Structure 1
Amino acid sequence: MSSNGKVPPSISWAQRNDVLYIIVNVECKDVDYKFTEDSMFFKGTSVVGNIQHEVTLNFLNKINPEKVITKNISRCLEFTICKKETGPYWPTLTNDKKKPHFLKVDFNKWVDEGSDYDDTTTDFYDYLNNMKTPDGKPSFPDLGDFDDDSDDENIPQLSD
């Protein structure tokens, strides 16, 4: 905790070759944030307890402050930030010598560098919506005749 009584919020992060994801994990009112090529400033008052939160993150490398997408989900703020240069993953988010205690990796968003993950992957509901016919009913692919199953040949019939 800093001497001015302001507490850094819990922050989680993940990255891709060209993007950073930063989540401020506190529900805040009176939110103020600012991005520069080298840093992110965040300030807000928590809804529960009226705690003053403030933090400045000094990034390890440069970002593009004009290409920041913000999403307020009431319980947290999500920032999608374009890196200035596409390239290898950053070993850490900040240029601090020691990892800040409030900064954690978001393993829900994390993808290992060089993996075959595709950001355009759709979730199950999108998959089902894409299977609908023009009249709005789901259309499932023909999976063949399930009645002709070779391992069912010697199964005795159920008795009444």
Structure 2
Amino acid sequence: MLGQWGSHTAFAVAAEARALALQGNRSEAAARVKDAHGVFDQLAPRSDDDAFAFPLRRFLLYLSGTFTALGQVSEARKVQEEALSLYPARTGIDPALLRLEAAICLAHDRSATEACQLATAAYLQVPVEHRTAILGARARHVIDRLPGTSRRIAAARELGELLQLPGSHL
């Protein structure tokens, strides 16, 4: 088992996988996902409340981002569902980020209205004081992933208008 630094290593490798996926580097991202699993599986069990821990739910959040960026919708949905089941109520923005990634998957599947409705609901579930630029950017990414004509549907316009409101992402 890996010591204290193992959780930092697992986080770093998972974050690298997501970054590579966002850059479109499929093969390297897939290799880092495998590496991240290897490191994560060796971590000593720790409390999810430990400030230095990298709990399974956070690991799955990073995998969700990786699979979503790669367009691997089936894999993304699996890890999103598992991760969401591990988050207690009112746990910051991570559950909203997972739902926004689920919305991106719906956009990838050309379910534009459903994608925008889910993104709007996920965004609005976060208290105003926690609506960060990261959250706003991820919600905006849902619209960006829609095929051209779908960006003009009512649900996409409503999401875009929501994101333009003052204080929508502090």
Whether TM exceeds 0.5 here: the answer is no
Larger strand proportion of the pair? 1
Larger helix proportion of the pair? 2
Structure with the bigger RCO (C-alpha within 8 Å, sep 6+) is 1
Taking structure 2 as the reference length, the TM-score comes to 0.25
Structure number, greater radius of gyration:
1
Taking structure 1 as the reference length, the TM-score comes to 0.26
